[in-house]
Structure 1
Amino acid sequence: MELDSVMLSRMLTSMTLAFHIIFATIGVGVPIMISIAEFIGIKRNDPYYLLLARRWARGFTITVAVGVVTGTAIGLQLSLLWPSFMEVAGQVIALPLFMETFAFFFEAIFLGIYLYTWDRFKNRMTHWLLTIPVMIGSSASALFITTVNSFMNTPQGFELEGGKAVNIDPIAAMFNPATPSKVFHVLTTSYMTAAAVLAAIAAFAIIRGKRSEYERKALRLTMICTFIFSILTAVAGDVSAKFLAEVQPEKLAAAEWHFETEEGADLILFGTLDENNEIKYELRLPKFLSFLAGNSFDTKVIGLNEFPEDERPPLWVHYMFDLMVSIGFFVLAVSGIYILLDKLKRFNQLNKPLLWMIVASGPLAMLAIEFGWIYAEVGRQPWILRGYMKVSEAATTGDGVGLTFILFALLYLVLGVICVFVLIRMFKNTPAEAELEQRFPNL
């Protein structure tokens, strides 16, 4: 594989997105968890839930700081690495890019107020109300940036004349056909993943011998939220699949290795492809692709052979799709089993196999986010702006991308190490038990 400017630009953008999405996902999902924990703590006058909200908020600030750096890097790379794309689409997507920045500052302002006003209001619900603008800001930030990605999949709101965008309607561009399903999917998966990561932390603490009321309540809350958000994620995935079947059939066909247009199409899980595109060693669910595409086992599903070869996505996205879906159902199953055992009073803190599955659910859920975004981006190939501009036409022709890649890789390595180190030291130096005794001496 030749590392020309196009490939290096793709590699650098992919690396940035893969790193940024970790912090973006946490940034969207954790405020919801903070708000839920504090609300329950106030309503029940429960110091354990209040402490959960405090500690989650404290750690959240570190991830927000790293997310700012990586988010800024994405904006910079759009202009440096994809100048032809920005020349055509820059004015069209300027509004959501600006609104995303505005939403972040809106969130950051209220997050600062929230952090510095603990125990300063006579009515504690006043402090909880500050979580609402934080949640709105974080979710709105995800919404606006997702509309940009949606626009790249189903562009509208402009006309192309002489290589220039004219008759621009930024509102129509933002609320393009892909926006509802993509935003729904991004938000639900972010909420689910954040809850799963926090559940994994609580489960790991219990495995290590910390079995107080604080860890027990943290695990119960996060697992219930993981289960609820997993169900919503499954619904969002179903909506997305039906959208793809109607509007981007080549993307769904590549994900399912579906080559011939037919009714009653089978759903293909994993397997391998030979040089003649013959599928082997797969798990085949008869007619389920048709059901996924249109809620009927007789729905006609367009095959990949209907499209020119140079406009077909890479077939390896099939594995990204399968891994994303498999992990989603694993997290749903693990959280469902926990809730069932907890309800039946059959779960105890010594149930190590289930605890280890909960621990695994956190990083696996984050991997599912990564696999999903790889599928979303690579599944659009060869287009950067579907139907208008291919990736090869949009990339920079300048030199120095390779050196830039190395520098950014070093930056992300340093940021990642610092983030992990600070978070570990932050909570190791102030364990929950000591903080409970300090803040609630009569507990």
Structure 2
Amino acid sequence: MELDPVLLARIQFAFTISFHIIFPAFTIGLSAFIAVLLMLWMRSGEEKFHRLARFWTKIFAVSFAMGVVSGIVLSYQFGTNWSRFSEFTGNVIGPLIGYEVLTAFYLEATFLGILLFGWNRFPPWLITLSAVLVAIGTAISAFWILAANSWMQTPAGHEIRNGIAFPVSWWEIIFNPSFPYRFAHMLNAAYLTTAVVVLAVGARYLRAGRHPEESRTMLRMAVGMIFVTAPLQLVIGDMHGLNTLKHQPAKVAAMEGHWDGSKAGALVLFGVPDEKARKNHYEIAIPNAGSVILTHTWEGKYPGLTSFPEKDWPPVANVFFAFRIMVGIGMLLIAVGLWGAFLWLRGRLFESRLFLRSVSQMWSLGFIAILAGWFVTEQGRQPWVVQGLMRTADATSPVPGASVAGTLALFVFIYGIVFSMGIYYINRLINAGPKGEVSEVPEGLPNRPLSAAEEAAREATGRPRGSGPGFSLGTPKE
């Protein structure tokens, strides 16, 4: 049996990037959360913020390392499996990836070192500043990666000479038509995903009667973040969809399961797309609602799949179902945010067993939604690797299918080990929870009375106030 090298190269890239994307998405949101915790600590002097920041920094470090390890493979694949793509787009994509390393990765790695090893050696303001810079670095990293990927979706600012793309306007390349929407959508998704994880961990501790002060803080902050970011994601997603309809109408037709562009579009809640029959089986739909969403008119028409040559169709079923998974999870998280806010206003956020039991199991929902969204984005662009300029079949290297299959099997094995070990260690950190140690109140922080939980921690460790690990405001503490 002859192995298809193009299909295998696509599967290999999809596999590696699916593992990789969940870690940068998590670290984008988690770094911002840590920075906020430290700023709250600087302002209030409350030790719970300090303990939470140190606790989540350890989890951030593991996630960051796993993201780096899984991301290295992606860059190598451009040369091994996608050399023709690299030759065609290298003048555009190469500098964008290089800017990501120069402006973001070094910033993150440098100041993450201060966060990991400087808690007892540097003043509070430097620790907090480092956390802020790490958070900025993760956002800058997302900026450049999304700029490169968005250019592949809606290429602009280039010219083709001798079959190779050359930059003409870097401003148009970076801020291509889909970039603002895709960047905002991804960044907000990262913050929402992290908020769901923090909510689940806080609920897990509270149900077990552990770390009550930190648990309540995590629940309040997470519910507030979900309450804001989940509806915001719906708004950004709607704007992103309208932009996609303008520039990639075949993708939208597959997302909506919309076949006949001569009729108003229904909102298909469920169905089983059939490319041969050119219809959806077992369809449950709201008539004309698709037109209202995409054209803002009751009878508005937009291209269906039959408006395009069949060779230009994306894999309809994959895009159709992935889109519904993403939207379904988004609607569920909106409901969670409203539920949590209602309980908070009623003073029952920490007492509702049903809420705590439910959200403690939801930690993975954000990651699933992000993966589903990336499947929509990348598979919906097919059969193009660069929309309208280069087909995927023309982008691969002249490598035998057996070679690609061998490396794919190796990646599955190695990634399985790395991923399992990383998740195991993160789970151990979560099981350990925030430490009970209370540091001294450094100079420049409010010197407030200790809470009951902090007094209990003092008694348990036998330390008087001011004898904790603290910070050295001068030379590093020995």
Q: Normalized against structure 1, the TM-score is what?
A: 0.93
Cα drift, residue 280 of structure 1: 3.6
Cα drift, residue 168 of structure 1: 4.2
Cα drift, residue 404 of structure 1: 0.6
**Which structure's CA Rg is the greater one?**
2
Q: Are the structure 2 counterparts of residues 166 and 43 from structure 1 closer, same or farther at C-alpha, using a change threshold of 3 Å?
A: closer
1:330 aligns with 2:343: no
1:239 aligns with 2:239: yes
Write the mapping of 1:367-382 to structure 2, written as runs, cut at 5 A: 367-382=368-383
Q: Tell me which amino acid in the other structure corresponds to 1:348.
A: F
Bigger mean CA deviation after superposition, 206-215 or 240-249: 206-215
Q: Tell me which amino acid in the other structure corresponds to 1:279.
A: N
Q: 3-state DSSP class of the match of 2:381? A: coil
| 1:48 corresponds to | 48
Q: 3-state DSSP class of the match of 2:360? A: helix
Q: Are the structure 2 counterparts of residues 76 and 264 from structure 1 closer, same or farther at C-alpha, using a change threshold of 3 Å?
A: same
| 2:422 corresponds to | 419
Structure 1: distance between partners of 2:427 and 2:320: 37
Q: Tell me which amino acid in the other structure corresponds to 1:328.
A: G
Structure 2: distance between partners of 1:342 and 1:262: 49
Write the mapping of 1:23-422 to structure 2, written as runs, cut at 5 A: 23-102=23-102, 103-118=104-119, 120=121, 124-166=124-166, 168-210=168-210, 212-262=212-262, 264-274=264-274, 275-316=276-317, 317-349=319-351, 351-399=352-400, 400-422=403-425
Q: Are the structure 2 counterparts of residues 200 and 265 from structure 1 closer, same or farther at C-alpha, using a change threshold of 3 Å?
A: same
Cα drift, residue 252 of structure 1: 0.6
Q: CA RMSD in A?
A: 2.3
Cα drift, residue 218 of structure 1: 1.3
Q: Are the structure 2 counterparts of residues 27 and 425 from structure 1 closer, same or farther at C-alpha, using a change threshold of 3 Å?
A: same
Relative contact order (alpha carbons < 8 A, sep ≥ 6): 1 or 2 greater? Answer: 2
Cα drift, residue 172 of structure 1: 2.5
Structure 1: distance between partners of 2:422 and 2:207: 24
Structure 2: distance between partners of 1:297 and 1:442: 68
Contact 2:266 2:289 in 1 (8 A): yes
Q: Are the structure 2 counterparts of residues 403 and 257 from structure 1 closer, same or farther at C-alpha, using a change threshold of 3 Å?
A: same
Cα drift, residue 160 of structure 1: 2.1
Q: Tell me which amino acid in the other structure corresponds to 1:295.
A: H
Q: Are the structure 2 counterparts of residues 241 and 441 from structure 1 closer, same or farther at C-alpha, using a change threshold of 3 Å?
A: farther
How many residue pairs get aligned? The number is: 441
Contact 2:55 2:433 in 1 (8 A): no
Structure 1: distance between partners of 2:167 and 2:129: 42
Share of identical aligned residues, percent? 32
Cα drift, residue 428 of structure 1: 4.2
Q: Tell me which amino acid in the other structure corresponds to 1:411.
A: I
Q: Are the structure 2 counterparts of residues 299 and 36 from structure 1 closer, same or farther at C-alpha, using a change threshold of 3 Å?
A: farther
Structure 2: distance between partners of 1:6 and 1:191: 35
Cα drift, residue 323 of structure 1: 0.7
Unaligned 5+ runs, structure 1: none
Cα drift, residue 249 of structure 1: 1.0
Structure 2: distance between partners of 1:167 and 1:121: 44
Cα drift, residue 135 of structure 1: 1.4
| 2:451 corresponds to | none
Cα drift, residue 184 of structure 1: 0.9
